[in-house]
Chains A and B, each alone.
Chain A
C-alpha cells in the first residue's frame, strides 16, 4: 500500500491505495465518489474524464499513485450547493443529455475547454476538443450547443 496525498475539489485528502489502483477506482471505490463514471475502461469513451492539474484526463488510464500532490477536480465539485455550475445549467437548458451516462465526463471535458480556450471558441473547435468523449444518445449536436452557450456563442432564435 502507498499513501497518496492529493487535493480533490479543494479538499486535501490522504488515501492508502494499492499501487495498481486506477485513479477512477480511488474516486469511486475508495472514496465513494461515484459521479465519475467508467464506460469503456479502455481510454476511449471519456466517461471517466476529470481535471488533473488543469488538464482534462481519462482517470481510467492513470494510476492513483501518479496523482501524488496533484489538484483534482471531479463532477462533484462543480455545483455550489443547489446552484448548478454554468456548464451543468447549459446542459439542462440545451437538452444536452439523454441517458446521462456520458454526461459527467462530457461536462468535465467541456469545462476544461472553456478553461483552456476562454470564450473565444467556435463549433469546430468544440467538436475537435470533444473527440475523446463518446455519447451514444444525443448525436452530439446539443452538447456542442451547450458548450457554445456557456461561451456566449449560441445564436439566439431572434437573431
Chain B
C-alpha cells in the first residue's frame, strides 16, 4: 500500500499552484500512470497529490499559424484519435497510439509524459524533433532548453506544463522498437522535415535521455531517405545498457529506426 497522502482536485491553474506551494511535499498528478506505480513501490511518498485533471487550461487540441497545440492533460488515446493530429502530423498520432496499451492510453497524458522525461518515453522525441514550445503556468520554454537529462527538465518546482505547441512539419515519421512487455521504446527515432531542414530525435537509447542526432540531420537535409544514412552509426559508448538491451544493440536499433523513420514518412513504423 502507498503511504498516506491528501488528494486535491483544483479547478484552476492558480488554485493548483497555491495548493502546491502550501503543501509540505506535493506532487502534481495527471493520469497517474507513472506516479501511482512509483508510489506503490514506495519510491515516492508525496504528502499531497494535486490533480491536474479538472483544469480547463490544460485541455483541448488546436491548430493555428503552423502550430499544433495540445493541452497537457490530453490523453494518449485522445491525441491518437484527434482529427487535427492525424490530419496534420500523422506520425505524432501514431506515436501516441503506440504508447502502452489501450487502458494506459485512456489515462496517461502527454503532459505527464513530457514533464517526467523518462529516457524511454515516446513523446520527448516528438517534442525535440518538431521544435515544440512548452507552455507552462509561468512562461514558454523552447524544446532545446527543456530536456536536461534523464527524468530532468527545465520545469521549476511547482511550475505546471500547460500546453505543448508542435511546429507542423512538411512531413514526419516515427519508428520504434518496443520492449514487448512494457512497450516503452528500446530505441525510437522521430524524423521531421521542415523545407530543407531535417530534425532527428532519438529516444530510448541514450544514457542521457532524448537527444538530437545532428550527423543524421545533416545527411537527411540533402535527401530524406534511408540511403542518405548509409554507413552512419552512433557511438556505442553513449548508449544506455540494461537487462533489456546492450549498448551495441541500442546503437544498432537507433540507427535502424532513424533509417525507417526517414524512409517511411507520414506514419508510425513499429519494428
Contacts and interface: CB of A to CB of B under 8 A. Distances in A.
A132 B103 contact: yes
Given A42-B37, A56-B106, A19 B7 contact: yes
Nearest to A54: B106
A33 interface: no
B150 to A, nearest CB: 21
Given A19-B49, A66-B51, A66-B53, A58 B5 contact: no
B101 A46 contact: yes
Nearest to B101: A132
Given A19-B49, A55-B106, A61-B107, A41 B4 contact: no
Contacts of A22: 36
Interface in A49-108: 49, 52, 55-58, 61-63, 65-66, 68
Nearest to A59: B103
A143 interface: no
A18 interface: yes
B102 A62 contact: no
B77 interface: yes
Given A20-B4, A43-B33, A132 B49 contact: no
Contact of A131 (B2, B33, B102, B107): B102
B101 A19 contact: no
A61 B4 contact: no
Contacts of A142: none
A42 B33 CA distance: 10
A109 interface: yes
Interface of B is mostly: loop
Interface in B1-29: 1-7, 9
Contact of A20 (B2, B77, B101): B2
Contacts of A61: 32-33, 36-37, 107
Contact of A65 (B1, B7, B183): B7
Which has the most chain A C-beta neighbours within 10 Å: B36, B49, B106? B106
Interface residues of A, number: 27
Nearest to A44: B181
A132 B183 CA distance: 10
A138 to B, nearest CB: 18
Contacts of A63: 7, 32, 36, 49
A11 interface: no
B104 interface: yes
B77 A55 contact: yes
Contacts of A44: 181-182
Interface in B166-194: 181-183
Contacts of B5: 19-20
Given A18-B4, A20-B1, A56 B9 contact: no
Contact of B107 (A18, A41, A62): A62
A20 B49 CA distance: 10
B34 to A, nearest CB: 9
A124 interface: no
Contacts of B37: 42-43, 61
A7 B102 CA distance: 23
Contacts of A19: 4-7, 49
Interface string B44-61: 000001010100000000
A123 interface: no
Contact of B40 (A41, A66, A109): A41
Given A19-B49, A44-B181, A46-B103, A66 B3 contact: no
Given A22-B36, A66-B53, 15 more contacts: A20-B4, A42-B37, A46-B103, A55-B77, A55-B106, A56-B102, A58-B103, A61-B36, A61-B37, A63-B32, A63-B49, A65-B7, A129-B102, A131-B183, A132-B103
